[in-house]
Structure 1
Amino acid sequence: MASSAGLALCAQTLVVRGGSRFLAFSTASSDDDCIFTYDCSAAEKKSAPEDKGEDGQPTDRGSDTILASTFSKSGRYFALTDDSKRLILFRTKPWQCLSVRTVVRRCTALTFTASEDRVLVADKSGDVYSFSVLEPDGCGRLELGHLSMLLDVAVSPDDQFVLTADRDEKIRVSWAAAPHSIEAFCLGHTEFVSRIFVVPSHPELLLSSSGDGTLRLWEYRSGRQLQCCDLASLQEPGEHPGHKLDASRQQLVFRQRLTFPHRVWDVVFEETRGLWILQDCRDAPLVLWRPVGSEWQAVPDGAVSQRLCSHLHESWAMLEGSVGADDGFRSLYKATFDNMTSYLKKKEERLQQQLKKRQRSPLPGSPEQTKKACPGQSALSC
């Protein structure tokens, strides 16, 4: 199974994951070494009742590939889930593995609550479970469920709402204290919703991306869509000056299209407006971009970038063979079946067969019909 490479960043701690491993680095120029490294293949393996099928035989335990990871808001905690259905919790100051817990299904996304007391885990069956951070060995509790695979989960900055995105184009806004109570749906996407993100500077707004190729802005408590950007038809700001809008109008502003020479696996923003890019290039797997004047530009190779790239070059085996977003999302598109075309084609074939049959049959009163009625006699005597 091909792994998905990814990034996570909080303050000056950058995590790069690939396969079953992750490496944690400091982006501060004064630090020279990798802070922490972890391999899920060496993690504790727990057997669970769910590991057996209906026939009593063990089911596929999966690989140790990391499926999702995230920091808590302050960066004090870090959590990941893997293909072996485990949730692994870490403390980061200093780095220490706090617990390894079993989840019911393979997970697709996870997030910490703003208060950092729980981890919310979304899985492929459409359920969200919560796990205690303060009690690292506590069991998970089912919070809410969808009828479709969940692809992302988020919480509002005040911890009042849990936001979930699924394969059936829906974004649901549920009350955290009573998840069965739904505040709103954000409806409009025509394909699976791949990612959702509450805007930190505008906590009432939500960004969503989708397989339909659009980026949408929502006022999520009311479910009202504020803007829809078709990413395939974006024009450069110079070509369409009127596309720039004031931030106070709660609208997205297209600034620049960034292009890269290699396939991009993941990106993550710094708090200081830097953008780290993880790419499929062994010699330069990590690059940093920053705004210079009115444009974003790649930062020339500095001591920090060279140090991080050197570590990843030595650990390239964990990233090699990773899939990009296009490969990972391809299986989420729903196959469409044109039953009407097949039906009309078969109907036309039946009509043609009936017509040919009538053409071969003699008409009533014709000599051919009379011969069949009076064999061996003339039509006149009959």
Structure 2
Amino acid sequence: MASSAGLALCGQTLVVWGGSRFLATSTASSDEVSPFIYDCTAAEKMSQENKGEDGPPLVQGSGMILASTFSKSGSYFALTDDSKRLILFRTKPWQCLSVRTVVRRCTALTFTASEEKVLVADKSGDVYSFPVLEPHGGGRLELGHLSMLLDVAVSPDDCFILTADRDEKIRVSWTVAPHSIESFCLGHTEFVSCIFVVPSHPELLLSSSGDCTLRLWEYRRGCQLQCCHLASLRESPEPQGHQRFAASRIVFWCQESCVALLCDCVPVVYIFQLDALSQQLVYKQQLSFQHRVWDVAFEETQGLWVLQDCREAPLVLCRPMDGQWQPVAESALLEKVSDVLRGNWAMMEGSAGTDTSFSSLYKATFDNMTSYLKKKEERLQQQLERRRRSPPPGPNGQAKKMRPGEAALSC
């Protein structure tokens, strides 16, 4: 799903994007390098130059960023926009390597663990792979679903491609032969909004859905290990109109096996801990915020970064203190990174009023029976009234005179 703004972290490199622009800066306290800023609308000329004579025509869009991701080592960064472009960057130092055209607008993307390919999932249900070492190489169709794909992931050994779609399915396919399906993870009753392979336990998969659940799977067997109902964990009632919600981001902190879950439309981040021995999720707490939360990401050395819709405090840094995650009150590092973002807040202004909820993905429900029974009752009443006004004829063809109460019996 397209998001209005996003946050990505790898090592000590932090990327914040909004609208058509993103900025990359360092979270290292000693690093005073100026942030790298890129505007996707400036990529149009480059993409025209890179397009072959028989290449697909470019789609005119606003350049709004739809999805982004780092490679495992952080050496590469990729994003897609609403002009159907895949833009690849080298991060050390920052440099745009290529602008390639994709077939349809993308919903999610990820690098393979080897960093040889970037996988792009789109709205039509297809996954294409694009080479990284050949930055201008064309895309190759790897697999397809019959419905919109909402997320894509790879196993840490690159053996499997995992895809989640609007029709409640999680498919586990072999990378070398994507037409060969290892398993399906079935159990969600609404669209699967995001999936995440646990780095420290590569056999486990986390998934969330519009059915307000977080589920833990042993994905090769398609076996569900646990289902957590998020609605039952809410410490305060949902805002009016948001009784249904789905996770827009799942992130993991290896230090303490913590899982943070950001939910769509509600300014709440759920914190779980993964128990490796029992292979179960243990609910710990929820962090509530006064402003709309756009995205979250863990940094292994610092804690949980939260990007919110507030110019005065665009970033919140949370750390575990006395067994509970809490926002850091004062931090020179937080202030330094926030200052960079405040100085470039113009790129976030278009994101404030953007509706990026999953509301359009829920199944439509129709209550035809109530309407049918109501109309049936109306027809019976009309027939009864007509019979009362026009009694049936007698034996000689004349209307039979009916005694009081006889009309009702005749019906």
Higher strand share: 2
Query: Is the Cα–Cα contact under 8 Å of residues 164 and 170 in structure 2 kept in the other structure?
Result: yes
Cα deviation 1:326-350 (Å, max 9, x = unaligned): 8421222222112233333333333
TM score, norm. by length of structure 1 = 0.87
Match of 2:398 among 361, 364, 370: 370
Aligned to 1:275: 304
**Letter in structure 1 aligned against 2:384:** L
- More deviation in 69-78 or 25-34? 25-34
Cα deviation 1:292-320 (Å, max 9, x = unaligned): 23121222332221121111112112112
CA distance in 1, matches of 2:162, 2:217: 12
SS in 2 for 1:232: helix
Query: Is the Cα–Cα contact under 8 Å of residues 4 and 355 in structure 2 kept in the other structure?
Result: no
Aligned to 2:107: 108
**Letter in structure 2 aligned against 1:15:** V
Aligned to 2:147: 148
Aligned to 1:197: 196
1:349 aligns to 2:378 (yes or no):
yes
Query: Is the Cα–Cα contact under 8 Å of residues 77 and 90 in structure 2 kept in the other structure?
Result: yes
Aligned to 2:123: 124
1:66 aligns to 2:65 (yes or no):
yes
Aligned to 1:379: none
The alpha-carbon distance between structure 1 residues 218 and 323, as it changes in their structure 2 partners (threshold 3 A), is farther
Query: Is the Cα–Cα contact under 8 Å of residues 3 and 67 in structure 2 kept in the other structure?
Result: no
Aligned to 2:261: none
Superposition deviation, residue 120 in structure 1: 0.4
Aligned to 2:38: 38
CA distance in 2, matches of 1:135, 1:7: 27
- More deviation in 134-143 or 287-296? 287-296
CA distance in 1, matches of 2:319, 2:353: 23
CA distance in 2, matches of 1:371, 1:309: 91
Aligned to 1:320: 349
**What residue ranges of structure 1 are gaps of 5+ in the alignment?**
53-59, 237-242, 373-382
Query: Is the Cα–Cα contact under 8 Å of residues 392 and 399 in structure 2 kept in the other structure?
Result: no
1:311 aligns to 2:310 (yes or no):
no
Cα deviation 1:130-172 (Å, max 9, x = unaligned): 1010111111111111111111000000101000011111111
Aligned to 2:17: 17
The alpha-carbon distance between structure 1 residues 132 and 324, as it changes in their structure 2 partners (threshold 3 A), is farther
CA distance in 2, matches of 1:108, 1:323: 20
Larger Rg: 1
- More deviation in 22-31 or 246-255? 246-255
Superposition deviation, residue 323 in structure 1: 5.5
SS in 2 for 1:158: coil
Match of 2:281 among 241, 249, 252: 252
Cα deviation 1:1-57 (Å, max 9, x = unaligned): x961110110000000000000001000011243311000111344887659xxxxx
1:81 aligns to 2:110 (yes or no):
no
The alpha-carbon distance between structure 1 residues 108 and 244, as it changes in their structure 2 partners (threshold 3 A), is closer
CA distance in 2, matches of 1:9, 1:31: 16
Aligned to 2:317: 288
CA distance in 1, matches of 2:162, 2:29: 37
1:210 aligns to 2:209 (yes or no):
yes
Superposition deviation, residue 211 in structure 1: 1.3
- More deviation in 78-87 or 341-350? 341-350
Cα deviation 1:107-135 (Å, max 9, x = unaligned): 00000000000000000111111101011
Aligned to 1:380: none
Aligned to 1:240: none
Superposition deviation, residue 273 in structure 1: 5.7
Aligned to 2:247: none
The alpha-carbon distance between structure 1 residues 270 and 193, as it changes in their structure 2 partners (threshold 3 A), is same
Superposition deviation, residue 362 in structure 1: 2.8
CA distance in 1, matches of 2:337, 2:275: 37
The alpha-carbon distance between structure 1 residues 250 and 137, as it changes in their structure 2 partners (threshold 3 A), is same
CA distance in 1, matches of 2:206, 2:355: 20
Query: Is the Cα–Cα contact under 8 Å of residues 264 and 280 in structure 1 kept in the other structure?
Result: yes
**What residue ranges of structure 2 are gaps of 5+ in the alignment?**
236-271, 401-411
CA distance in 2, matches of 1:6, 1:312: 13
Query: Is the Cα–Cα contact under 8 Å of residues 152 and 165 in structure 1 kept in the other structure?
Result: yes
TM score, norm. by length of structure 2 = 0.81
SS in 1 for 2:286: coil
CA distance in 2, matches of 1:264, 1:326: 13
1:220 aligns to 2:219 (yes or no):
yes
CA distance in 1, matches of 2:38, 2:296: 21
Superposition deviation, residue 352 in structure 1: 3.0
Q: Percent identity among equivalent residues?
A: 76
CA distance in 2, matches of 1:235, 1:329: 19
CA distance in 1, matches of 2:361, 2:298: 26
Query: Is the Cα–Cα contact under 8 Å of residues 69 and 78 in structure 1 kept in the other structure?
Result: yes
CA distance in 1, matches of 2:61, 2:275: 49
CA distance in 2, matches of 1:235, 1:66: 31
CA distance in 2, matches of 1:50, 1:76: 29
The alpha-carbon distance between structure 1 residues 30 and 244, as it changes in their structure 2 partners (threshold 3 A), is closer
